Amino acid sequence: MLIAGNWKMYKGPAETAEFCLGLREEELDGVDVVVCPPFVSLAVAVQLLAGTEIAVAAQNVHWEDEGPYTGEISAPMLRELGVYGAIVGHSERRQHFGETDETVAMRANAALEAGLFVIACIGETEEERERGETEAVLRRQVSVLEPDDNVVIAYEPVWAIGTGKTATPETAQEAHAFVKTLLEAPVLYGGSVKPDNAAELLAQPDVDGALVGGASLDLDSFTSICRAAAPIPS
């Protein structure tokens, strides 16, 4: 099970340091944990989580190694910092910053070539779901991704991100099972994952973890979701 915390545009270096020092003290055996701070907070997270099993990933990455791309960060730059991976194609990037399936593919490929792992986000909007287009949208979004051992898919129904709405465990399972027919990769669920719904979502057979948004900003909330993903001792 993989639990990744996407901090979005929260937590500068000072707050990140406080969070990571707390996270170091937690017993999180049996679950892979990733934190995804903003660019300005990556270095402090890498430094403070060094020597632990907790990985640090960026929230985005550019497709070129360098060049005249003001405001962008390349995969080699992230590698130099000690960053382990990157999110690509988050619905907020698609919605607010003109991200397309093609640019998602370019970002993913650049990250993989540089040796980063990739969490590639896919998901339908409420309008697309109501029109019965969920599978067509997911097929289109997945079609641009190449099979790779370092790719993880995050299924995020856009209507459930930051809205408090959550896909039912059955809805999530159905989407995850479909995605796995398109690409052989672990599939995380994202979309208002919280401590009180995490265990039920993570119990679904094709749910391989979670990409957690708002609930990853609080240490107690995030670690309780991580514990919900840990295997039950036999």
**Residues known to be catalytic:** 90, 156
**Residues 174, 106 contacting (CB under 8 angstroms):** no
Are 53 and 33 a contacting pair, CB within 8 Å? yes
Three-state DSSP at 228 gives helix
Which residue bears the tokens 């809805």?
A: 171
DSSP letter for 50, please.
T
Rg of the Cα atoms in the chain: 17
H/E segment holding residue 64? none
Q: Parallel, antiparallel, or unpaired: how do β-strands 32-36 and 117-122 relate?
A: unpaired
Geometric angle at alpha carbon 224, from 164 and 32, rounded to 5°: 105
Task: Give residue 212's identity as a one-letter amino acid code.
Answer: V
Q: How many CA atoms lie within 13 A of 121 on its CB side?
A: 28
Smallest Cα–Cα separation from 45: which of 91, 93, 72, 10? 10
